[in-house]
Amino acid sequence: MPRSTFLVTVSGPDRIGVGAELFHALHSLEGDDVRLMDVAQITIRGTLVLCAEVSSLSNLTEASLTAALRNREIEGQGMTVHVESVTPTEAIEGRRLLVTLLAPRIGAGQLEAIFHAIAQSGATCERIVHLASYPVDCYELIVIGPNHPLLRASLTSAAEACDLDLAVQRAGLHRRAKHLVVIDADSTLLQHEVIDLLGEASGRSKEVSAITEAAMNGEIDFGEALRQRVALLAGLPVGVLDDVRAQLRLAPGARTLLRTLQRLGYVPAVVSGGFVEVLAPLLAELKVEYFKANRLEIVDGVLTGRLGGEIVDRAGKARALRHFAHEVGVPLEQTVAVGDGANDIDMLSVAGLGIAFNAKAMVQEHADAALSVPYLDAVLYFLGISREEIEAD
Tally Cβ neighbours within 10 Å of residue 376.
24
Contact present, 199 and 284 (Cβ < 8 Å): no
List alpha helices for 221-298, DSSP H.
222-231, 240-247, 254-263, 276-285
| Catalytic, out of 14, 165, 186, 377 | 186
Main-chain dihedrals φ then ψ at residue 357, nearest 5 degrees:
-105, 110
End-to-end CA distance of the chain: 55
Residue 186 is a catalytic residue: yes
Phi and psi based region of residue 187 (left: phi greater than 0; alpha: psi -120 to 50; beta: remaining): left
Instruction: Using alpha carbons, select from 250, 229, 249, 226 the residue that is nearest to residue 317.
Output: 226
b/e per residue, 292-319, with b = 16+ CB within 10 A?
bbbebebeeeebbbebeeebbbbebbbb
Instruction: Using alpha carbons, select from 387, 356, 330, 329 the residue that is nearest to residue 183.
Output: 356
Length of the chain: 393
Contact present, 257 and 188 (Cβ < 8 Å): no
Residue 33 is a catalytic residue: no
Contact present, 280 and 296 (Cβ < 8 Å): no
C-alpha to C-alpha distances, 366 to 174, 310, 342, 350, nearest whole angstrom: 22, 25, 10, 10
One-letter amino acid at 88 equals P
| Catalytic, out of 14, 137, 165, 184 | 184
Could you list the active site residues?
A: 184, 186
